[in-house]
Amino acid sequence: MQRFILKRKNHIMAINAILTIAAFVSKLGFKNEGIAVIALVIASILGVAPILIQAYQSLRVKVISIDVLVTIAVIGAFIIKNFEESAIVTFLFLFGAYLEQRTLNKTRSAIKELIKMAPESALKQMANGEFKEVEIDSVDVGDILLVKTGAKVPVDGMVITGEGHINEASITGEAIPVSKKADSEVYAGTIVENGTVQIIANRVGEDTTFGKIIELVEEAQDSKSQAERFIDKFSKYYTPAVLAFAFIVYIISRDTELAITILVLGCPGALVIGVPVSSVAGIGNGARQGVLFKGSEVISDFSNADTVVFDKTGTLTVGNPKVADDEFYSADKDEILAYLASVEKESDHPLAKAIIEYIGDIKTYKVEETDVVKGEGIIANVKGSKVAVGNVALMKREGIYLGEKVRTDIGKFERKGNSLVLTSINGQLKALIGIRDQIRLGVKENLLRLKKVGIKNLVVLSGDNQGTVDMVAQELGLTEAYGNMLPEDKSAYIKKMQSKGQIVAFVGDGVNDSPSLAIAHVGIAMGSGADVAIETSDIVLMNSDFSRLPYARALTKAITRNMLQNIVIAIGVVLILLAGVFFSEWMNMSIGMLAHEASILVVILNGMRLLRYKFRKQQ
């Protein structure tokens, strides 16, 4: 029977809610007290059943849990015949448990999504020299594998032959594919966008970088799910204290009615209701403002956070490379752009797409005799002219003269973190274009707001090169900046900060960010990010609106203050009532019940104030 009831907690919660609503409709709408009382009694009995079972199970192992506290509150409400309180308390508690379980289920689905993204097969070189498709479990360290265009790299390894461009966004978070050739390192789960490479396996299975991402997420979520809530910690001391006090009073006075009065007045109905009301009202306010809190646990952590760590690409920056700088070395700019657009339309490289978007609608020419030089660029014949579009290495290969001004411009562009695209026509350099990810609009101002609401340290961790990361950090006024970081490096850094006593929030958007999102005290995902990142996180900024981050911080501080106010009100009323029992002649059960109910109404109204909270008033 216990198992049957516990398996149907969510159904019981729904029935409890329906009966409670029906009771209020009957009482307020039709003035029918009898039906209202019956509905509330049934709702309370149904609602307390799973809570009572869990309280019994915890007491069996000598643990006084939150379930014991709620059970006592419901019993106390029954004794004073306040069935409205008992029905609402049980619903709120069951609803909180439902939200918590839903969050855990989301976590499990995030891990499943990660596992789905892991490579399942590989083209392995057999003894006869031919490549055969095998399951990933059949690959061992030292095996030679073939990876073609569009395929996932199955293991961590080293390129031994071939060239290609590999999208490493799942590992580094960077959108621009990386050129790979002999002796280049490659990672499992990354995708070969063009080219074909043979690799030798160095790490396989759980030892790969992608395998470590899954392992880190699992470990972090296990540790998070064991974190105790405030109310759990409080119940360990408060519940036995009330029970012991009532028992001692009975032993001394032999007055059963007095002991029951203490037990009833000591039941913290306002405490059990006050904290969830603050939480639900605050979460509702956040949802309306584009901030999704996944349960109440995260509120306390984020309100106390002193350090926010950011991924760079897709978080501080847009995550979509665009042309940021250009320099032309000839007067016929429109003609140069026409040649450039004609060649770049032949490519599906992200840099080519950025250039096409930058040039816009322009007349193009027919392209003939295209020659793709892997890792360097494209050489083509356009309207009888030889056009080369690519990096500095391609220009040197073609013998293009790069004068002092050009070299100065190249240095300047590179210091800004640009990827370079040079264009030559008939052996003459005509244009230099710098492409880089753009910082999100308003990020700098919102980082200043974060500091104003108590964040001391602003750190960026990125898979991008250190120069680019330093440039972003300098422009935004960040405290620390670290580049060339793999997912496990980011997680290790966060653990190091936590070991120093810092409360860390991590903001990211990619698959590679999921371990850091899981391991930080608070994981915050951009709404347009990867599904895995969103599901692993504790807070989601809907529509990837960065301005919602300081709002979320200010809101959690307001919610925490409100919860503390409700706790003080609830405990204060209980202490006054208990003191009144012994030190006054006017205190009796009826007055105690009235004060009890008044305290519940006060904490509810206080919590509801959060629905009207606005950050602008606090600035």
In words, the CATH class of domain 322-436 is alpha beta
Query: Has 371 been annotated as catalytic?
Result: no
pLDDT at 619: 45
pLDDT at 388: 95
Task: Dig out the tokens for 442 from the structure.
Answer: 């308003």
CB proximity list for 611: less than 8 A, separation 6 or greater: 281, 284, 285
Q: Which CATH number fits domain 120-154+156-203: 3.40.190.10, 1.20.1560.10, 2.120.10.30, 2.70.150.10?
A: 2.70.150.10
pLDDT at 106: 54
- Specify the 3-state DSSP secondary structure of 327: strand
pLDDT at 423: 95
Q: Sketch the domain layout of the chain as residue ranges.
A: 120-154+156-203, 215-318+440-619, 322-436
pLDDT at 618: 44
- Which residue in 156, 301, 311, 509 is the catalytic one? 311
DSSP H stretches of helix in 226-323: 230-253, 256-266, 269-288, 297-304
Extract the residue ranges of the chain whose pLDDT is less than 70.
66, 69, 96, 99-116, 173, 175, 216-233, 235, 264, 267-269, 587-590, 592-593, 616-619
DSSP H stretches of helix in 61-82: 66-79
* Homologous superfamily in CATH for domain 215-318+440-619: HAD superfamily/HAD-like (3.40.50.1000)
Sheet containing strand 377-382, edge to edge, reads 322-328, 428-436, 419-425, 385-390, 377-382, 367-373
Q: What are phi and psi of 193, to 5 degrees?
A: -80, -35
